[in-house]
Amino acid sequence: MSATTGLRAFDDNGKEVHPGDIITSFRGESAVLVRLSRPRSEGKSGKVVAQFKHSQENLEFNPRQAQGEYYDSVFNLTVVEAEPPTGTNEMVSSAEPFMRLT
């Protein structure tokens, strides 16, 4: 799960991919997954931020190299909202205890 966005991405085989992983476009080009930016929803594709690599020798993320936002389908990925862990209590609004006093 991408901790900053609450999103998860899966490849065509159902394997979860994470920021920093090497992903491959439908053209066979390698890129580094930088972050997940939007989940799929009705009528909308998911989006990812990736950094294409022009050399197979250095597939590490480089903050000085350009990044781009792409539809998840460019990399045969599916971006979805992360589901909350099972077995956890529902969160109580921080204002709720004060509301009960009145």
Total domains in the chain come to 1
> What pLDDT is stored for residue 91 in this prediction?
52
pLDDT (tens, 9 = 90+) of the chain, 102 residues, equals 444 458 999 999 999 999 999 999 999 888 999 999 988 888 888 999 999 876 665 666 666 677 899 999 999 999 998 876 665 555 544 555 545 554
- CA distances to 42, 57, 66, 80, 92 from 8, in Å: 17, 28, 23, 5, 25
- CA distances to 7, 20, 84, 86, 92 from 89, in Å: 21, 32, 10, 9, 9
CB atoms near residue 35 (< 10 Å): 18
Task: Answer whether residue 35 is part of any domain.
Answer: yes
CATH of the domain at 57: 2.30.30
Task: Answer whether residue 91 is part of any domain.
Answer: no
Q: What is the 3-state secondary structure (H, E, C) of 6-32?
A: CEEEEECCCCEECCCCEEECCCCCEEE
Range of the domain at 51: 7-83
Task: Answer whether residue 94 is part of any domain.
Answer: no
